[in-house]
Amino acid sequence: MGIQERKEREKEHRREEILNAAQKVFFTKGLQAATMDEVAEVAELSKGTLYLYYKSKEDLYLAVMMRGMGILYSMFEPIALSQEPTVVKLVKMTEAYYEFFQKHCNYFRMFYFFQNPQFHKQVSEEMMQCCTGENQRVWELVVRVIQQGIDEGDLRSDISPMVMGVIVWSSANAIMMRMDTQREYFQTTMNVNLEDVLKISNTLLLQSLMTESAKRKYASLFQPAGMKERVAVN
Amino acid sequence: MGIQERKEREKEHRREEILNAAQKVFFTKGLQAATMDEVAEVAELSKGTLYLYYKSKEDLYLAVMMRGMGILYSMFEPIALSQEPTVVKLVKMTEAYYEFFQKHCNYFRMFYFFQNPQFHKQVSEEMMQCCTGENQRVWELVVRVIQQGIDEGDLRSDISPMVMGVIVWSSANAIMMRMDTQREYFQTTMNVNLEDVLKISNTLLLQSLMTESAKRKYASLFQPAGMKERVAVN
DNA sequence: CGTAGTAACTGACTGCCAGTCATTTTAATG
DNA sequence: CATTAAAATGACTGGCAGTCAGTTACTACG
């Protein structure tokens, strides 16, 4: 009975095609302005069919967002699994997240909505669990590296790895969100370069989480984080 | 001609009443689920009248949000103008922001939308400027205090006050947003208490922005920021 | 083949809501 | 009381998410 299996494959393929169409529309229009009619048109299907595969516009939106999470995971994984020193791994992971933000800005933007509780209400239970699961996967990667850093004595042992993770992640996230929405505003009206802000913030936080011995060991990593020069203008 | 003036007052009063009604509805339903019909009903006016006073639902939403900004300003101002040492002021301001978050959570939530570029498009130019102006007012208060700290030698001089402001503000904001949306999630599945995270994050950042002399001077301020105990469970 | 049965798909339709505008109400003025 | 301007109204429009009765395509079996 290869037919059942072929049908499964075709169904999966349809799901993907709908996702491709939705991605195009959401990327160009955003959640609000995108319409299911337009997604249907791009997918060359009727609107009704979309609802056979996804429960709502919001579910579809999250399904696209999950692709982004997958990409982020695939960028973090090789770093986490590499043989480099933990502190280096952490620096590389923050850089990777910034790279993700730059190269996959549209996915990054979708993460906004996941933060908004109003949005949560419009999403099906399953999709929500699916997302938190994917989220968890990425998160565990981060925490594992931090734990390793603590075990090796490079990171302080008086703060739990999860707490460290939340601190570093949240602040990087917040600054990148600002880059996305207000980069020019900060640049022109305040002469603040948000790329510098991100670098400085990451450096300060990471250093304050490191042990004294690690600071000495990895001092060279942070030396050229140019704070003085750019600021001196003012 | 006192009549003109009375009419002006009445008009202003109407505007306020509409705002009160809108606030009630937005606070209970959120932006999406709230309808202009409902606001009209609560305001005991017809829907058309709302549009004589506010250009759109989103404009009305931002008008309510501005009240929140005003409250925040009124909480920051006395601290900024007080005669206490700068480092103490900064600590108090972070505490004040947390207090704002707790007591005026509904306003805090509205700030989310202001961050979303998709939302911006639906707002009139005037209202947008009005908001950024109010935002600026609060911001200047923060930057002024930081500048003072630099001048007095308590804060490092190699990072601009604006950059420091963005770093501290963004990270506090991000963590409080998480408190609002995922407090239980973090508590139950990860045994992370976000109140601790906020405190630790603020402490770490503030300390890394302080000069060596200031760290010695104000060491007592940060001593009891209990990191070890709570975490030791795990 | 042909036909019964099922899975996939369709698009007209419903309900909801933001925003509009012709009409009505209110109130100031002479 | 008549005139006029300002304020308020609510029926209406257009657009969209989501539905469902009906159609089509595909498979299995006699």
* pLDDT digit string, tens, across residues B49-99: 999 999 999 999 999 999 999 999 999 999 999 999 999 999 999 999 999
Check if residue B46 sits with its Cβ under 7 angstroms from strand D. yes
Give the chain B residue nearest A203 (alpha carbons). Answer: B208
Rounded to a whole number, what is the distance in Å from the CA of A191 to chain B's nearest CA? 9
Question: Would the CB atoms of B181 and A115 count as touching at under 8 Å?
Answer: yes
- Lookup: nucleotide whose C1' is closest to A7 CA: C7
Report CA A38 to chain centroid distance, whole Å: 27
Which B residues, 21 through 60, put their C-beta within 8 Å of a C-beta on chain A?
Answer: 30-33
* pLDDT digit string, tens, across residues A48-105: 999 999 999 999 999 999 999 999 999 999 999 999 999 999 999 999 999 999 999 9
Q: What confidence score (pLDDT) does residue A225 get?
A: 47
**DSSP secondary-structure letter at A56?**
S
Test mutation, B29, B118, B140, chain A, max A CBs within 10 A: B118
Q: Which of A109, A159, A231 sits opposite B160 (nearest CB)?
A: A231
Q: Gap from A108 CA to D18 C1', in Å?
A: 28
* pLDDT digit string, tens, across residues A145-199: 999 999 999 999 999 999 999 999 999 999 999 999 999 999 999 999 999 999 9
Give the C-alpha separation, A141 to A134, whole Å. Answer: 11
Q: Which one has a higher pLDDT value, B109 or B2?
A: B109
Evaluate if pTM is beyond 0.75: yes
Whether A140 and A76 have beta carbons less than 8 Å apart is answered as no
What angle, rounded to 10 degrees, do the helices at B57-81 and B125-151 form? 20
Q: What confidence score (pLDDT) does residue B231 get?
A: 41
* pLDDT digit string, tens, across residues B101-156: 999 999 999 998 888 888 888 999 999 999 999 999 999 999 999 999 999 999 99
Give the C-alpha separation, A13 to A20, whole Å. Answer: 10
Q: Gap from A58 CA to D12 C1', in Å?
A: 30
* pLDDT digit string, tens, across residues B186-208: 999 999 999 999 999 999 999 99
Mean pLDDT of the residues in chain A: 93
Q: Gap from A48 CA to C14 C1', in Å?
A: 14
Query: A222 pLDDT band (50/70/90 cuts)?
Result: confident
- Lookup: nucleotide whose C1' is closest to A51 CA: D18
Rounded to a whole number, what is the distance in Å from the CA of B148 to chain A's nearest CA? 15
Measured between beta carbons, which residues in chain A are less than 8 angstroms from residue B122? Answer: 32
Q: Gap from B115 CA to C14 C1', in Å?
A: 35
Mean pLDDT of A125-153: 96
- CB within 7 A of nucleic chain C: A 7, 11, 14, 45-49, 52; B 1, 3, 7, 34-37, 47-48, 51, 56-58, 122
Q: Is A210 helix (H, G, I), strand (E, B) or coil?
A: strand
For residue B66, the surrounding DSSP H or E stretch is helix B57-81
Q: What are A120's two structure tokens?
A: 């949560």
Give the C-alpha separation, A94 to B131, whole Å. Answer: 32
Q: Which of B170, B177, B204 sits opposite A178 (nearest CB)?
A: B170
Q: What confidence score (pLDDT) does residue B223 get?
A: 65
Q: What are B127's two structure tokens?
A: 């209202």
Position A36 pLDDT exceeds 60: yes
